[in-house]
């Protein structure tokens, strides 16, 4: 623990909201505020807090209030008391890692846990048959050679290239590199193109796994807020590109995670033009492109793929969302010279991808639409059921109906998503606050709610969400407290 991380009573008071304006017990308001400071990154894990007596004097509250707040933090696993050396804020294991890592850091899930922290589905039913077919003739044929294919299997590269051609973008096998998923794909691009201190532009909010990867490469994130309607504010993106000249821009124009937005062609075109002027390479993450929940009539109007508008850019894709995350198959589409450079970076890391999984992916790609049809219909129903239930139980919250993807981006009626998710975890619901989708812990007013679980589980989750919010929200909380006292 870093001993120099210490916050004095006056500095801490300046960070805290006015406790007189919070209703409910004061100690709870104080512990919630300290929790929010920690989880938002405004106080680092390991920070030494003032003594209870000093904090109480500074805040003009009783010593018992400060003690009760610290007790509350300690019982939630967020405070470490060391005899003789003070009290330290600590991040509970679950909160320490954003994105997919958050789940890795948790204890094993129990059967009753409702896990809304990850937007992913179980495997399509065709997986077993595809695995059986792949393990027969094709594997036997390939097993006669050495099995190292740093660019991926030619047949799979062809199949992926054919899907780009179907979308109207001329693409050859040589422009495709098969990777172990989209996360691996983005990591490779960062490895090949970005040096420590370089800037990488992202949307705000953006996918936590990408934000983590940028940070892990010691690059600086330039986050540009989405517009109020959750689309690209292409004027703001163009300004940020021209002013900061980032090395890369990481964007999710096709059913953005977390908002589900689909960006129209005009804004894609404007962004591609600005990136050309600023010398920025664009990476588009198309992981969700097949999770298209629009009606058939709307699909006719699909925007042009970024690869058509920005020929020197990178597109990354994955079978994790349409097929199964356990397959670990993704890819990069780029020009041939970039693909060669990325293959060199890839060989240094993991040599080559697994052959059997690529063969299974090939089988599944043949019937992707048949495999996906029922799944999309069900997802559409789950999305609508989630939104209806939110409207019914939490009318003060707002959520746009996402055109695709696996989650709704929900705006709460108070900026308290982190304390809410923390309380929910104790009630068996894992869910990501908006701050997970920001590089600096902002977006406290938002919650990402995936609709990948069956409708009854979503209905159950919203009931717990509503109850917990009532207890947490200052105004409603006051009402509940009063009714408890008078009951």
Give the interface with ligand PLP as residue ranges (CB under 6 A): 119, 181-183, 207, 209, 252, 257, 285, 287, 318, 320, 325, 330
What is the nearest approach in angstroms of ligand PLP to the Cβ of residue 375? Answer: 16
Q: Which is nearer to ligand PLP, 209 or 246 (CB)?
A: 209
Beta strand spans in 84-171 (E): 86-89, 114-116
Q: Which is nearer to ligand PLP, 125 or 326 (CB)?
A: 326
DSSP string, 16-85: S--GGG--S-HHHHHHHHHHHHHHTTSS-TTPEEPPHHHHHHHHT--HHHHHHHHHHHHHTT-EEEETTT
What is the nearest approach in angstroms of ligand PLP to the Cβ of residue 346? Answer: 14
What is the nearest approach in angstroms of ligand PLP to the Cβ of residue 469? Answer: 26
What is the nearest approach in angstroms of ligand PLP to the Cβ of residue 318? Answer: 3
User: Which residue's Cβ lies closest to ligand PLP?
Assistant: 181
Q: d(Cα 174, Cα 158) in Å, to the nearest integer?
A: 9
Q: Which is nearer to ligand PLP, 119 or 364 (CB)?
A: 119
Q: Which is nearer to ligand PLP, 260 or 419 (CB)?
A: 260
Q: d(Cα 116, Cα 123) in Å, to the nearest integer?
A: 17
Q: Is 345 helix (H, G, I), strand (E, B) or coil?
A: helix
What is the nearest approach in angstroms of ligand PLP to the Cβ of residue 180? Answer: 7
DSSP string, 443-466: -TTEEEEE--S-HHHHHHHHHHHH
Q: Which is nearer to ligand PLP, 88 or 207 (CB)?
A: 207
195, burial (CB in 10 Å: exposed 0-12, middle 13-18, buried 19+): exposed
CB 419 within 8 A of CB 445: no
Residues in the chain: 487
Q: Which is nearer to ligand PLP, 183 or 418 (CB)?
A: 183
What is the nearest approach in angstroms of ligand PLP to the Cβ of residue 193? Answer: 18
Q: d(Cα 31, Cα 197) in Å, to the nearest integer?
A: 36
What is the nearest approach in angstroms of ligand PLP to the Cβ of residue 255? Answer: 9
Q: Which is nearer to ligand PLP, 322 or 419 (CB)?
A: 322
């Amino acid at each position: 623990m870093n001993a120099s991380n210490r916050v004095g009573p006056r500095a801490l008071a300046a960070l805290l909201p006015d406790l007189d304006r919070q209703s409910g017990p004061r100690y709870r308001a104080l512990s919630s505020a300290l929790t929010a400071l920690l989880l938002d990154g405004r106080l680092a894990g390991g920070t030494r807090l003032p003594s209870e007596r000093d904090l109480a004097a500074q805040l003009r509250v009783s010593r018992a209030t400060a003690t009760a707040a610290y007790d509350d933090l300690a019982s939630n696993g967020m405070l470490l008391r060391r005899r003789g050396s003070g009290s330290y804020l600590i991040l509970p294991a679950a909160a320490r890692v954003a994105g997919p890592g958050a789940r890795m850091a948790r204890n094993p899930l129990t059967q009753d846990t409702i896990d809304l922290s990850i937007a992913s589905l179980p495997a399509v039913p065709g997986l077993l048959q595809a695995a059986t077919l792949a393990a027969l003739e094709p594997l036997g044929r390939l097993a006669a050679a050495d099995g190292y294919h740093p660019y991926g299997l030619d047949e799979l590269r062809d199949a992926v290239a054919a899907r780009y051609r179907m979308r109207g973008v001329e693409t050859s096998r040589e422009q495709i590199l098969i990777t172990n998923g989209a996360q691996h794909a983005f990591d490779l691009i960062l490895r090949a193109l970005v040096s420590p201190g370089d800037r990488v532009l992202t949307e705000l909010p953006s996918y936590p796994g990408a934000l983590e990867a940028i940070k892990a490469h010691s690059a600086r994130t330039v986050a540009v807020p989405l517009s109020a309607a959750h689309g690209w504010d292409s004027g703001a993106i163009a300004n940020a590109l021209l002013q900061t000249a980032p090395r890369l821009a990481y964007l999710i124009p096709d059913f953005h995670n977390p908002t589900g937005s689909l960006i129209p062609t005009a804004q894609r075109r404007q962004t591609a033009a600005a990136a050309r002027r600023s010398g920025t390479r664009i990476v588009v993450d198309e992981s969700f492109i097949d999770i298209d929940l629009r009606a058939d009539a709307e699909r006719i109007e699909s925007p042009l793929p970024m690869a058509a508008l920005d020929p020197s850019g990178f597109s990354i894709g994955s079978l994790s969302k349409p097929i199964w995350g356990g397959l670990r198959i993704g890819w990069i589409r780029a020009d041939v010279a970039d693909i060669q450079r990325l293959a060199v970076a890839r060989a240094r890391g993991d040599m080559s991808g697994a052959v059997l999984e690529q063969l299974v992916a090939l089988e599944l790609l043949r019937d992707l639409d048949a495999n996906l049809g029922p799944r999309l219909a069900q997802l559409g129903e789950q999305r609508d059921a989630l939104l209806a239930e939110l409207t019914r139980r939490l009318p003060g919250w707002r959520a746009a109906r996402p055109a695709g993807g696996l989650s709704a981006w929900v705006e709460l009626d108070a900026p308290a998503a982190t304390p809410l998710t923390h309380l929910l975890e104790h009630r068996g619901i894992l869910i990501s606050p908006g701050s997970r989708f920001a590089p600096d812990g902002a977006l406290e007013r938002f919650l990402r709610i995936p609709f990948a679980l069956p409708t009854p589980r979503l209905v159950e989750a919203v009931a717990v969400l509503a109850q917990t919010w009532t207890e947490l929200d200052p105004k409603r909380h006051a009402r509940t407290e009063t009714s408890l006292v008078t009951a």
